[in-house]
Chains A and B, each alone.
Chain A
Amino acid sequence: MLDTITLTLGVIVGIFVGSTAGYLGSIMVSRRMALVGDALSHVALPGLALGILFNFNPFIGAFTFLAATVIVTWYLQKSTTLSVEAIIGVIFVLALSIGILITPKVDLLEALFGDISKITLVDTVLTVLVSLFVILVVKKIYEKLIISMISKELAVANRIKVESINLIYLLLVATIVAVGIKEVGTLLVGALVIVPAAAAKNISSTLSGYSLMSAIFGLMSAAAGVILSIYVNVPVGPLVVIVGTVIFAGSFAINSFSKRLKAKRVSSA
């Protein structure tokens, strides 16, 4: 059973990582890059393993590998005809294989699915600061990102440096994935980016509502996952994903119901 302090720290980390990942995810899901977010998270495993093996903060190892992957992907996408999905797909399987080979067996489960009991005050402070930094930077580039998503041509004509904005965005995703790994694990942290945003998309009709709902659903999934882990003796990661998926199913049902209702109104009018 977790003590109150560890649980509180876990919930704080969940709130910040969940809401930030959800907010970032709203952009990723709309860019039809959902699988990129998921695959990217697995790339952190070798960095995490090096941190465990050589006794340094695994966040630094994970972030280094994630950032390097983002930069290599960004460069290859710019200079070849390969899609982001294809490039990350190749790097992801390689990183996962190397990560599984070099991660000590006793730490593998924790690396893959996270362990809330290991979260320290330093981790929590780091997570809060990093999350706030990520949100501030996204807010700064948000309009440019959205315009470049709507039309690259329009963005370029409006003097938006589309490639640079994309690189900054992917580095921010890498950052939040790296801080989320300790709680949710490398295998499932990608779900924090994708599932809340996918759920929010089902029931959003405005951009402001969509990004807000994505952040709220991310927060709810992560915080609820942590609290649930007190009652069931399983890692937080799978619980976060299950809560997120339940929210997704709920939003999907609401969307289908409202569509049917609209169709009924139209046919009876």
Chain B
Amino acid sequence: MSDVDRVETDSSNQSQNESNNMLVVSDLSVTSQNKRILEDVSFKVKKGASLAVVGPNGGGKTTLFRALLNLIPYSGAIKWNDEVRIGYVPQSLVSTDLPILVEEFLRFKHRTNYETCISSVGLDKAILRQSLGSLSGGELQRVLIAWAIVDNPSVLLLDEPTSGVDIGAEEPIYENVNHLKREAGITVLMISHNMHVVMHYSDYVLALNKGVLFYGDTKSLTHSQLLSIIFGSEFALTEEEHYKE
């Protein structure tokens, strides 16, 4: 039984366990235009843990995040820890048509913390004087992470944060998120299609396809099981055969 789904029967232990949880989701369902997008989804995330949300396209991953951010109506219960402060990192859907400096952008969120945040996401302070539109995909994504952490959140929600980023630039971003998780004790929830990322940077996996396909410790999964969850069993078989060869 994994740490996240362990059920405590003793009431004092239970309340302590609850305070250790950053998020408890029970029987979450979302319906849009008479179509069920999410059905009876339940899971918990402990403080300081990282949860990867995986699953096929249309499986409800982004809808789950939207519900967690209270942006859409849902049934069931989403209980965040009382002291939660959420930092959200979107996919690279950013319009950079404006002549706006990185510094100006970050100052919108916090007047003073932004210099420290830029350093903590592994960027040089000189980038503050660069235009947001002149950044590479990797730099922009780090600036968005800096935006998310500038007001000291306790939770980071990352919605495929490297979807528009070159393959080589992906790894440092996740390394950085992992560093923030370790150093600042930030709880991380991330949507990812990247098996390597899920295996290396998440403690737990939640696989969704409307309902929960899998929920548990990342270490309990083999690569092929994870591939099977993310892409379907056919692909996993092909990959296994590929490895045999």
Binding site for B on A (CB under 8 A): 30, 32, 143, 146-147, 149-154, 156-158, 201, 204-210
Contacts and interface: CB of A to CB of B under 8 A. Distances in A.
Contact of B98 (A30, A143, A154): A30
Contacts, number: 60
Contacts of A156: 69, 71
Given A146-B108, A147-B108, A205-B131, A154 B99 contact: no
A138 B157 CA distance: 31
B104 A206 contact: yes
B99 A146 contact: no
Contact of B100 (A32, A152, A207): A207
Contact of A207 (B99, B157, B159): B99
24 contacts: A30-B97, A32-B97, A143-B108, A146-B98, A149-B98, A150-B95, A150-B96, A150-B105, A151-B94, A152-B93, A153-B90, A154-B88, A154-B144, A157-B88, A157-B90, A157-B157, A205-B99, A205-B101, A206-B100, A207-B98, A207-B99, A207-B100, A210-B98, A210-B99
A201 B71 contact: no
Nearest to B104: A207
B132 interface: yes
B160 to A, nearest CB: 12
Interface residues of B, number: 25
Contacts of A209: 99
Nearest to B87: A157
Contacts of B108: 143, 146-147
A201 B131 CA distance: 13
Contacts of A147: 108
Contacts of A210: 98-99
Contacts of B109: 158
Contacts of B93: 151-153
B244 to A, nearest CB: 42
Interface string B11-54: 00000000000000000000000000000000000000000000
Contacts of A158: 88, 109
A154 B90 contact: yes
Q: Is the interface of A mostly helix, strand, loop or mixed?
A: helix
B101 A207 contact: yes
B96 to A, nearest CB: 7
B132 A150 contact: yes
Interface string B155-176: 0010100000000000000000
B59 to A, nearest CB: 19
A147 B105 CA distance: 8
B33 to A, nearest CB: 14
Contacts of A205: 99, 101, 131
A150 B94 contact: yes
B80 to A, nearest CB: 14
Interface string B181-222: 000000000000000000000000000000000000000000
Contacts of A151: 90, 93-95
B190 to A, nearest CB: 15
Contacts of A143: 108
Nearest to A213: B99
Contact of A204 (B99, B132, B144): B99
B104 A208 contact: yes
Interface string B72-112: 00000000000000101011011111111100110011000
A31 to B, nearest CB: 8
B148 to A, nearest CB: 9
B232 to A, nearest CB: 28
A158 B90 CA distance: 11
Nearest to A32: B97
Most buried by B among A149, A152, A153, A205: A153
Contact of B71 (A150, A157, A207): A157
A150 B104 CA distance: 12
B90 A150 contact: no
B76 to A, nearest CB: 21
A158 B145 CA distance: 14
A80 to B, nearest CB: 15
Given A151-B94, A153-B159, 13 more contacts: A147-B108, A150-B95, A153-B90, A154-B94, A154-B147, A157-B69, A157-B71, A205-B99, A205-B131, A206-B101, A207-B98, A207-B101, A207-B104
